[in-house]
Amino acid sequence: MTVTWEESGWERLAPGVGRCRLPVWDCTAGLVVGAGAALLVDAGSSLGEGARLRARAQALAGGRVTHLALTHPHFDHVLGAAVFAGAEVFGAVGLDTALARGGEELRADAEREGLDARAAEEAVDALTLVRPRHLVSGERTLDLGGGRQVLLADVGPGHTAHDLVVLVPGDPEVVFCGDLVEESGDPQAGPDAVPSRWPAALDRLLALGGEDAVYVPGHGAVVDAAFVRAQRDALAARFGVSD
């Protein structure tokens, strides 16, 4: 039986492309389906959430998730990654080191935000099973089969030192922004943010996506180029960054 995007809890954005908003932290996960391959964008905040996300993705992809792109090293985007062991894992240059060195910080941040302590510890420990083997510097194209190609681009630093975006050509083009863009609240600048470079990261994102793309924030509703540009200008003002 064919399962629709909506029946599986996904918002369809373009043919073969969708996203879902995960509970609690309203974090977005993306899915791009090719011929015999599927790319998931971000993995959820715990092993349990990752497992639920995997089941929902597989219902649409007709098989396992073969590729996983992690947009940045924050707990709500990466702590479900271990359930995708066997997938080809991608991240911006330096993400592997950040995850290897930042386990205790990830655990503490997850607990501070309300994740159960045991769930946080199990997920951080399990991250050793899944490390980004494919580190993107600049841009990299993935072929998912059936004419489906995806562009991964390291556009940071900004929200973190390791910000990866995922662009899916089509009509419309879809851009998964990670937390470089947020709609449901002001963009969060933690201790690992690079505020002086964040507006430039959004300039690169806009140059890649263009005026007619659909932009998918790390948190919140889908937005357009005008929203991203306005957020870019607000960040520049907020952090005193001149053009």
What's the whole-number average pLDDT of the chain? Answer: 95
Give this prediction's pTM: 0.97
At residue 163, the pLDDT reads: 98
- pLDDT tens for each residue of 114-148: 999 999 999 999 998 888 999 999 999 999 999 99
Strands 174-176 and 164-168: antiparallel
Does pLDDT of 63 surpass 90?
no
Does pLDDT of 2 surpass 70?
no
The C-alpha torsion from 115 through 121 and 124 to 128, rounded to 10°, is: -160
At residue 243, the pLDDT reads: 72
- pLDDT tens for each residue of 204-243: 999 999 999 999 999 999 999 999 999 999 999 999 998 7
Alpha-carbon distance of 171 to 223, in angstroms, equals 16
- pLDDT tens for each residue of 146-186: 999 999 999 999 999 999 999 999 999 999 999 999 999 99
